Structure 1
Amino acid sequence: MHRGRLQLELLAAVTERLGDVVRLGHRLESVDDGTDAVTARFATGRGPVGVEADVLVGADGIHSTLRALRYPDEGAPVWSGLTLWRGTSVVPAFLDGRTMIMAGDGEQKFVAYPLDAPGADGRQRVNFIAERRREGSPDADWNRAVDPAPIVALFREWTYDWLDVPATIAAADEILEYPMVDRDALPQWSFGRTTLLGDAAHAMYPNGSNGGSQAILDARTLAFHLAGADSPEQALAAYEEVRRPATARLLDMTRQTGPERVMLLARERAPEGFADIHDVIPADELAAIAADYKRAAGFHPDALNERSSLTVRR
């Protein structure tokens, strides 16, 4: 699903259940920690605004203001040396129309997957990520649109019988450029009645596609503990006890390329190519790499079936 569509669906659900509660154009400036409440102070186009609440959750991304208030000396995100270009294109459906492709190695890579089913004309919208290691210092700006021509040139030889990579890049409505960055794991997320969630707590590389997924797990876990704890402070402590170690381990695995490690292994073991992947990486090794990452990410079927439910019984 296109992320923009998902966000609009979530907004509609929030509005239906809670009413007109979403406020835009607020920039957090300071937090006052109280015994019985926390006060957040925002800058807006209409002047400063103070909001008192039982709990303040900083879900404000890799450049989180709340995180910066708690860790003012942390500095900029950590760059991997890789630059990513992302976009969506309408192209002829590849393979079965439901498959994700990852091709490349630690220096250059291309990823693509469909966002909807193929149309009557056999075409569908796909999301793609083109990646290349490069020199220089990054500027973590997620909204920089760039000319596709230089990126097309980088992938000009990446054509397959079932997918034309340079044509897919060239057909993009818009291409955004940004560095692959993350942040080091924190020793603490929660302070009094405030905590962090999602990229604000544990920004990580997109290896394994865990940015949005881990934020959803955070929110589910936090909601569960807020509903059942005796106090907000107890709820935040229980949430952090579960989620902070899990995401720290996952962050470390993404720095080791996560499940995409199989591409690096193939390149190392068979630099001239191969006919059958199992001649290079045995099936049990492939399965073990996938299973280890699923367990770390919280997606392994056995772990999901064994853990207790996060549904609140009222």
Structure 2
Amino acid sequence: MILIIGAGLGGLVTAIALARAGLPVAVFEAAGSLRETGAGLTLGRGAQHVFRDLGLQGDVAARACPAGSLPFLHWRSARLLMGAPDPGDGTPDDGQADIVRHMYRADLQAVLLDHAARLGVAIHTGKRLTGLDQDGDGVTARFGDESIARASLLVGADGVRSAVRAILHPGDAPRFTGHVAYRFLVPRAAAAPFMGLGRSAIFIGPKRTFNRYTMQGGNVVNCAGLAETGEEVPEGWSLPASVAEVAAAFPDWHGDVTGLIGQAQSIIKWGLYDRTPLPRWSQGRVTLLGDAAHAMLPFLGMGAAMAIEDGWALARCLALEPDVGRALDRYEAARRERCETMQAMSRRQGEMTQAMDPDALVPAAVPMANQALMGFDPVAAGV
């Protein structure tokens, strides 16, 4: 049995990939229920190659929107700085094109939960990990409800504040990056007057980024304003912010930005944290993936994709290599360099796009223009 801690996107993809490979797996989630949380997310091309390999892409694409060329616009004038206008209407495609797509996180979660259920994957909720012990034969996990579980391998897919990582590396806390994200949704009708520049747009300016795009067939606009701040802000989905606070963070920005902010009904304020790279993700029969291993800033929109790619690679290594230690060595060899590069380049992307003078942006120099980085196919590369 392989035990996965965390029923987020990375954990669910890992469970599906393991089950499809015929390996027994169970998921243990700290939350008391599998609530639909989150806003929009960008699905990078690598993640969608994984979905195709696992037979998920048709269901994913049916709920996603093709992302176009991700146009970057001047914060005040809306002058096009990079990319091309996105004329899409939010209508899903068949998922076959090798392009970036946008999707509501809750919709992706629903697709993954459905496929996990079809494969018979057990998902246990209300299981907060409090400790673990290893020996030569396996791992014993202990939970807050005084239950235990025994497995040949334990996978920490439990996010930036990973309980698994905290046990493996005491005192290694997430670090606040000096950025806060304001996230909110606007219905199509209310957003319509502020969408004349296309289905998606990323406004960049001094120490600020405002990203907006449609989801759910064009019926909802996902908005995310990222701002540098000197105030340390907690991470999570429970801290509210007011329209006035967000408006004050984006003063004098283009009317489409301020107009969408004015239409916000419920805003979540989210501190952005990342992780110092570890010398190894694995200890014995325990390993990490996704944000638990390499949390990164969102400027490349690749955090979810990295967790999805990790899950596929780990499952593939375990299917190919019956010895757990050798399988984990193979997994890290396949993933560490890419993930650490993406972590560094996500930070670099933010530094470049939030420069004081966006007119000085050199499109060819930004990490997002690197096709080898952004267009990587983990399935074709193999493990």
TM-score by length of 1: 0.80
1:304 matched residue in structure 2: 377
2:161 matched residue in structure 1: 63
The percent identity for this pair of structures is: 31
1:8 matched residue in structure 2: 110
| Alpha-carbon shift at residue 32 of structure 1 (Å) | 0.8
For residues 271 and 368 of structure 2, the distance between their equivalents in structure 1, rounded to whole angstroms, comes to 28
1:24 matched residue in structure 2: 125
| Alpha-carbon shift at residue 294 of structure 1 (Å) | 4.0
For residues 183 and 379 of structure 2, the distance between their equivalents in structure 1, rounded to whole angstroms, comes to 37
1:116 matched residue in structure 2: 216
CA distances 1:157-213 after superposition (whole Å, capped 9, x unpaired): 3234xxx22231232342111222211111111111110011000000001111111
- Change in 2 beyond 3 A, CA 1:305/1:257: closer
**2:247 paired residue among 152, 155, 166:** 152
- Change in 2 beyond 3 A, CA 1:266/1:294: farther
CA distances 1:64-113 after superposition (whole Å, capped 9, x unpaired): 011011110213x2222222111111111724754x31112351221111
2:285 matched residue in structure 1: 193
**1:53 paired residue among 151, 154, 168:** 151
For residues 78 and 64 of structure 1, the distance between their equivalents in structure 2, rounded to whole angstroms, comes to 13
RMSD: 2.5
- Change in 2 beyond 3 A, CA 1:53/1:188: same
Q: Which runs of 5+ in 1 are unaligned?
A: 119-123, 270-279
For residues 251 and 171 of structure 2, the distance between their equivalents in structure 1, rounded to whole angstroms, comes to 43
For residues 185 and 233 of structure 2, the distance between their equivalents in structure 1, rounded to whole angstroms, comes to 23
Which letter maps to 1:83?
A: V
1:231 matched residue in structure 2: 323
Which letter maps to 1:60?
A: D
**1:101 paired residue among 198, 201, 205:** 201
Pair 1:132-2:227 in alignment: yes
8 Å contact from structure 1 (residues 198, 214) kept in 2: yes
1:34 matched residue in structure 2: 135
Q: SS state of the match for residue 189, structure 1?
A: coil
- Change in 2 beyond 3 A, CA 1:255/1:72: same
Pair 1:182-2:299 in alignment: no
- Change in 2 beyond 3 A, CA 1:8/1:23: same
For residues 134 and 331 of structure 2, the distance between their equivalents in structure 1, rounded to whole angstroms, comes to 19
2:184 matched residue in structure 1: 87
TM-score by length of 2: 0.66
Which letter maps to 2:220?
A: R
For residues 243 and 215 of structure 1, the distance between their equivalents in structure 2, rounded to whole angstroms, comes to 10
For residues 193 and 71 of structure 1, the distance between their equivalents in structure 2, rounded to whole angstroms, comes to 15
> Once structures 1 and 2 are overlaid, which stretch shifts more, 220-229 or 141-150?
141-150
8 Å contact from structure 1 (residues 82, 134) kept in 2: yes
- Change in 2 beyond 3 A, CA 1:134/1:128: same
For residues 378 and 164 of structure 2, the distance between their equivalents in structure 1, rounded to whole angstroms, comes to 35
Pair 1:245-2:318 in alignment: no
- Change in 2 beyond 3 A, CA 1:183/1:213: same
- Change in 2 beyond 3 A, CA 1:56/1:294: farther
- Change in 2 beyond 3 A, CA 1:139/1:305: closer
Which letter maps to 1:211?
A: G
Aligned length: 277
| Alpha-carbon shift at residue 262 of structure 1 (Å) | 5.0
Of structures 1 and 2, the larger Rg is shown by 1
| Alpha-carbon shift at residue 144 of structure 1 (Å) | 0.8
| Alpha-carbon shift at residue 291 of structure 1 (Å) | 6.3
CA distances 1:227-276 after superposition (whole Å, capped 9, x unpaired): 11031221111111111222112111122126x7356385263xxxxxxx
Q: SS state of the match for residue 310, structure 2?
A: helix
For residues 341 and 247 of structure 2, the distance between their equivalents in structure 1, rounded to whole angstroms, comes to 35
1:43 matched residue in structure 2: 144
1:289 matched residue in structure 2: 366
Q: Which has the higher contact order (CA 8 A, sep 6+)?
A: 2
> Once structures 1 and 2 are overlaid, which stretch shifts more, 149-158 or 204-213?
149-158
8 Å contact from structure 1 (residues 206, 254) kept in 2: yes
Which letter maps to 2:267?
A: I
Which letter maps to 1:138?
A: V
**1:261 paired residue among 352, 359, 365:** 352
For residues 316 and 158 of structure 2, the distance between their equivalents in structure 1, rounded to whole angstroms, comes to 21
